[in-house]
A and B are shown apart, each in its own frame.
Chain A
Amino acid sequence: AQKVTQAQTEISVVEKEDVTLDCVYETRDTTYYLFWYKQPPSGELVFLIRRNSFDEQNEISGRYSWNFQKSTSSFNFTITASQVVDSAVYFCALSEGRDDKIIFGKGTRLHILP
């Protein structure tokens, strides 16, 4: 069965610190997709990244970076030089094969303190 675990329920860091959000997944499929979404206080989930299981190359987008490691079934998300606007709930998610359904983790609430 597929499963996504975000062990960190809530994290608080001071502005400008780096922070890593952990995501561990379980799947029996060899083809799968991993996602990260951001949910700011306004409520709308915003898509951040999609990664397929055949591409383990890490990705950087501005202050955001993602570390995908199949050996540990992890897809961690790092925010560098955090800002108050990064405060949100972040969800990691998994989709198997050609299934359009996405299984979400329970989310990590990130507080960036000024």
Chain B
Amino acid sequence: DVKVTQSSRYLVKRTGEKVFLECVQDMDHENMFWYRQDPGLGLRLIYFSYDVKMKEKGDIPEGYSVSREKKERFSLILESASTNQTSMYLCASSSIPGTGLYSNQPQHFGDGTRLSIL
């Protein structure tokens, strides 16, 4: 089974701090994703990465950055945390699409990090 591990289930930080959320997957997946989940808004994509050292902005990248130095690890960075970044953060990974119809592999998710910014 695919295992996606997020470093913390709960995290409390203060406004202005630099915050690191870590995600590790053990299935050699090429793709990794960071989402935030808020009540009534569902999951929104922050950043994703197709390969080491590659990153692409998602729908809501403002206030965030990412780092992917190794294939298995994808870090989300809040440069200067603000209270509106209090949320549940979910990391996911998927394998690269193959040829033919059965590409677009499902994403496998970690348990999530509930981050509170005070």
- Contact residues of A with B, CB < 8 Å? 31, 33, 35, 37, 42-47, 50, 52, 54, 91, 95, 98-102, 104-107
Contact = CB atoms under 8 A, between A and B. Distances in A.
Nearest to B42: A106
A45 B114 CA distance: 14
* Range class of the B interface residue count: 20 to 34
Nearest to A103: B45
A13 B7 CA distance: 36
Nearest to B97: A98
Interface stretch (B17-25, B63-71, B75-83, B100-108): B100-108
Interface in B29-47: 31, 33, 40-43, 45
B106 A50 contact: yes
A104 B50 contact: no
Nearest to B2: A47
Contacts of B31: 100
A102 B94 CA distance: 11
Given A98-B97, A101-B48, A105-B42, A47 B107 contact: yes
Given A44-B112, A100-B105, 6 more contacts: A43-B88, A43-B112, A46-B109, A52-B102, A91-B43, A106-B42
Contacts of A52: 101-102, 104
Given A100-B48, A107-B42, A43 B111 contact: yes
Nearest to B38: A106
B69 to A, nearest CB: 20
14 contacts: A42-B111, A43-B88, A44-B111, A45-B92, A50-B106, A52-B101, A52-B104, A95-B104, A98-B97, A104-B42, A106-B40, A106-B41, A106-B42, A107-B42
A95 B92 CA distance: 15
